[in-house]
Each structure stands twice: as structure tokens, then as C-alpha cells.
Amino acid sequence: MAQNQRTRVVAAGRPHEPNSPVNPPVDFTSTYVYRPSVEYPQVYAREGIPSFEPLEGLLAELEGGAHGLLFSSGLSAVSAVINQLPIGGHLIIPRHAYMGFYSMAAQLAAKGHFTLHRVDIAETEQVLSTVREVAETARDQSTQALLWIESPTNPMLEVADVPALIAEAKELGVLTAVDNTFATPLRQNPLKQGADVVVHSVTKFISGHSDVIMGAAITADLDLNAALHGHRNLHGTIPGPMEVFLALRGVRTLAVRLDAAERNAAFLAARLDQLKDDDAVSLTSVTYPGLPSHPQHGRAKAQLGGFGAIITIDTGSQAAADTVLEGLRVWTPATSLGGVESLAERRRRHPGEPDTVPEGLIRLSVGIEDAEDLYQDLAQALRSAAS
């Protein structure tokens, strides 16, 4: 029987045998008993343990892939994917993306691992033109190219034409990877549109409680999965069994958490968009894919199953942003996103953030608190920054 995503997120990855525990057990072991006369599937825990399988299977099912792999962090999942490029390959990346990925890509390119090409991922024709040029160069050089898509982007919330980019890349033999952390598998499924691999920072919406560091890579390609598994094994980037347990427990409530946070985000974005016209607040712009004023609002409406729980506001300056953050009482000033609590952060406090991100930009990760409380707290902090 076909299942809705809201059902899958709760039901997938559970034992069904009589007298099995409803929640899969946790395997606390580093190695397994060996007998020369018997072939065992388990040898050493770095290769993976049974505790991983329920969450890996659940994420694969949600994304529409066949294979899921857990990693010790989102960045280690990213590293496993981009390391599939041969030395001398080509990597096309958005001008705005997760800072850790952005910095890693720049560092590896500087060391000569591959040639880096930056694009405005929301400008479809620009991206397609670059993909065509890079694909031709890669063919001439007998190497491989990879298009990295992040949509919506972190932190600027640009929305790519994901189906069009994947289709063109596929036709030209360019690999495609999609960071689906912001949208989650409940709002977007790039594998079903032909992407080669999807990555997640499980730390964020999937685990949902700001208490786990973990990543995941999901693919429908058996050979690519084997290569990613080999990378994980050799680099030792496996998560701990207790972290996997916490993430599996957290993902069970993804649908209700995301629905609640998304409702709050829509409410806040609309109210803040009105507030920005008030001269008594330090607020110059509000960006949210669900606002009609968002440059790719129509695209987001057509492609996504919802507009997400991330908003950005520009306070006009670093000083104003810092004053806003100092004045918050309900919101928590902290990095990361996707937890049940609402977090706020000035992104340019990180040296690796591109200088195209405004100094006064604050990324808001909207949680599940009362929406009016969240608004009033932000409004008073924005007023204090203007006085």
C-alpha cells in the first residue's frame, strides 16, 4: 500500500517480527566474534553496524533512493561526495552555500584537487551555460564534473530550478549532488528528479533537537553507494550508535515539527515584512521563499511542498545586528538550525562566510514556540537597535 511521507517518517525502519522491540536496539560494540568456519556479515564496527540500518533505510525511503549512508557529520557526508571527483575534475558550486562546504571546496581547489566554478544557482541560464562549458572541458580533459545544488541556499535562501539543472547536467554527463538540508525530504525529493546523490546535515531538521552531530548521503546508484561507503570506511567517519538512536527518535516527529515551524515562519515573515516600513525599527529587508516579494517565490511555490522554517532579515549593519541579538529573550542567539527552539545568528561573524552576505544579515531558524511571542521578542529587539 502506498504511504504518505508523514506515515513513512514514523513507520519506516521499525522491526515487524513478533516480540521485536518497537524501537530498534542500540549496538554498543567495536568488533564482532569471528570463526574461520563461518562467514559473518559483520567484522568491525567502522564498516557499519546494524544500529545504522533503520535510519539509513528510513532516509533512503523518504528521499526515493535505494541506499542511505550515515556519516559522523554533515560535512563528512559532503566530503565523501566531492571526493568522488578525480584529481583534475571540475566542481560547480553556488556562490552562496553552507559555509563548511564552501570553505572545504575552496581549500581543495587551492590544493589542485579540482577546478572550482561559482554560479548564482538561482540564475538558471547562467548555471546551464556554465554546466555546458564545464562539461565540454571535462570531456576534452577526460575527467569528470560535478554540479552541486543547494536550494534554498544557506543563508541567502535563493531557490534553484532543480529539475531543469538536473536534467541538463544528466544529459551532458555531469554528476549532480543536492544538499537537501533546508527543504528536507518532506518538501523536496531531488533523487526522484534524477539527481545522483542527496546529502543532509542530519544535525538540523532530521534530528531536530540540537543534540546530535550527523550527516547522511542517499543515492539510487549501487556503485556510487559502494564508493561512498568505501570512503566512509577508510576515513572513519561513522557516527556513534547513541547519536544514531537520538536521530532516529528525533526524525519520527519531523512532519509535525516542520509543519509547526513552517506555520510560525510564514506568520513571522509576513509580520516582519510589514514591520520593515516602520522607521522605529532597524530592519531593511525580509527574505522568505513564501513571501510574494521573494525573487523566486513562484519557483518555490511550484517546486517545494512548503516554504520552510528559515527566514533572513537584514538589519543594515553589524552594530545593529549585534544589538538585536543582545536584546533577544525568547530567541536563542546561536548557530545551527532546524531544532525545536528558535535560533538567531549574524552569519558574517564567521570569517568563511562570503562577503556577498550582508554584514547586518541575521538568519532566523524558526522553532515551534508561540508565534506571537517570537514576533514580539524580535520586534522589541529591532526597536532597541534603532534607538
Active site residues: 46, 98, 179, 204
Cα 333 from Cα 337, distance rounded (Å): 11
Q: Which DSSP string corresponds to 95-141?
A: SS--HHHHHHHHHHHHTTSEEEEEE-TT-HHHHHHHHHHHHHHHHHT
Helix, strand, coil percentages, rounded to 5, for the chain:
40, 15, 45
Handedness of CA 276, 277, 278, 279 (dihedral sign): positive
Please tell me the total number of residues recorded for the chain in this structure: 387
Q: How many CA atoms lie within 13 A of 221 on its CB side?
A: 15
Long-range contacts of 346-355 (CB under 8 A, 24+ apart): 346/318, 346/321, 346/322, 347/99, 347/155, 348/318, 350/99, 352/99, 352/100, 352/102, 352/103, 353/99, 353/155, 354/95, 354/96, 354/102
Residue 112, by phi and psi: left (phi above 0), alpha (psi -120 to 50) or beta?
left
